[in-house]
Amino acid sequence: MKLTKKAGASPIGRRLVSVGRIISKLLLAFVLTALAWIGFVQWRMATLPDAKLPPQDVGIVLGAALWQTSPSPALSERLDRAVELYRQGTIQRMIVSGGYDRADSKLTEAEGMRNYLIAKGIPESAIFLENHATSTYENMKFSQAIMQKQQWKSAVIITHRYHAVRALDMANFLGYENVMASPMDSNVLMMLWHKSRETLALTKWQLDKLQLSFGIEPSRD
């Protein structure tokens, strides 16, 4: 009796297997790249220098939520750092940057911050309001315009450690001449949530930089 050879896989079947292997390799490469990026971002947040700063022309306090007309506990942490730097003589003036949180807000973030700082003993003449920013990029861009008008050359960004990496990168992208950060850790924020969100925001910023390089204004974050 004559035996017939067992039929091999069809060309289509072999092609599907090959495509499946390629997709699997691409997915693995994507996952490994994403994990490496997340690790790098977390490392940058953790290792951002927090050394004693030399005197700067101005401090830039980045806004966050108001609770009614008062700074939230997280925003108060940033403002308390600004007060500390002022009393140390590191800064003699500060820009408080932030527009309206919501359509029904009574004050801009900048106005709420100014009131808090005055209550802490900072003279109103040392506080410059930036009332329009609704994103970190706008914080840095609009504050830069105030600096240029006042002919200030050096600045220290005052914000939380997890946020300072992106803010510094934005400042450098915008062409700040001499910019540093005074980052702080938070005792009131849920850091796992905020670090995760900031990792996504920093990833989006890399895409935004590419758009801006081609003259395309990115969406607000």
Return the CATH fold of 58-189: Rossmann fold (3.40.50)
Confidence at residue 28, expressed as pLDDT on a 0 to 100 scale: 74
Q: Is the pLDDT of residue 40 over 80?
A: no
DSSP 3-state assignment of 131? coil
- The angle at the Cα of 127, spanning 113 to 167, to the nearest 5 degrees, equals 65
Q: What is the pLDDT of residues 133-149, one digit of tens each?
A: 999 999 999 999 999 99
CA torsion sign, 197 to 199 to 200 to 204?
A: positive
- Of 142, 175, 123, 119, which is closest to residue 60 (Cα–Cα)? 142
- Of 112, 119, 115, which is closest to residue 63 (Cα–Cα)? 112
Q: What is the pLDDT of residues 154-195, one digit of tens each?
A: 999 999 999 999 999 999 999 999 999 999 999 999 888 888
Mean pLDDT of the chain: 88
Q: Is 185 exposed, middle or buried (0-12, 13-18, 19+ CB in 10 A)?
A: exposed
What is this structure's pTM? Answer: 0.82
User: From the centroid of its chain, how far is CA 141?
Assistant: 13
DSSP 3-state assignment of 149? helix
The full DSSP string for 26-43 is: HHHHHHHHHHHHHHHHHH
* Residues whose CB falls within 8 Å of the CB of residue 175, separated by 6 or more in sequence, listed in order: 144
Domain spans, the chain? 58-189
Backbone angles phi, psi at 123, to 5 degrees: -65, 140
Q: Is the pLDDT of residue 209 over 80?
A: yes
